[in-house]
Amino acid sequence: QFKLVESGGALVQPGGSLRLSCVISGFRLDEYAVAWFRQAPGKEREEVACINSAGLSLNEGDSVKGRFAISRDVANHTVYLQMNSLEFEDTGVYYCAADEFWTSWCPAKSTDFASWGQGTQVTVSS
């Protein structure tokens, strides 16, 4: 059973930085891909980044390219999302997700992932 637990969300000013963590259990990061999604109020859940079983960063969304970076620590079972130059539009609940079907890549649709964390709130506000 895949389990994921996010942490690190906070209230931050525009231009600030945060690092989110996703601690996994029930599977290995060098065997399955993990994606970060976010959901703003009233909007659909969108994928912001994916890291595959080989550790390659994929699917970085246009709205976060150059500002967000996904990484992992296999030994500590953790996937990170480093977020820099935060903007008001980055506000939302951030989730990590995985699925037994996805190893070398991640689909963009949230409905293609079976396992989710509970989410962590990121609020960008002055």
In tens, the pLDDT along 59-99 reads 888 889 999 999 999 999 999 999 999 999 999 999 999 99
pLDDT of residue 61: 83
Q: In whole angstroms, what is the distance from residue 109 CA to residue 59 CA?
A: 11
Q: Are 56 and 62 in contact (CB under 8 A)?
A: no
pLDDT of residue 43: 95
pLDDT of residue 109: 93
Residue with tokens 């009233």: 42
Q: In whole angstroms, what is the distance from residue 53 CA to residue 102 CA?
A: 9
Phi, psi of 29 (to 5 degrees): -70, -20
pLDDT tens-digit series, residues 6-55:
999 999 999 999 999 999 999 999 999 999 999 999 999 999 999 999 99
Look at residue 121 and tell me whether its pLDDT is greater than 90. yes
Q: Are 80 and 6 in contact (CB under 8 A)?
A: no
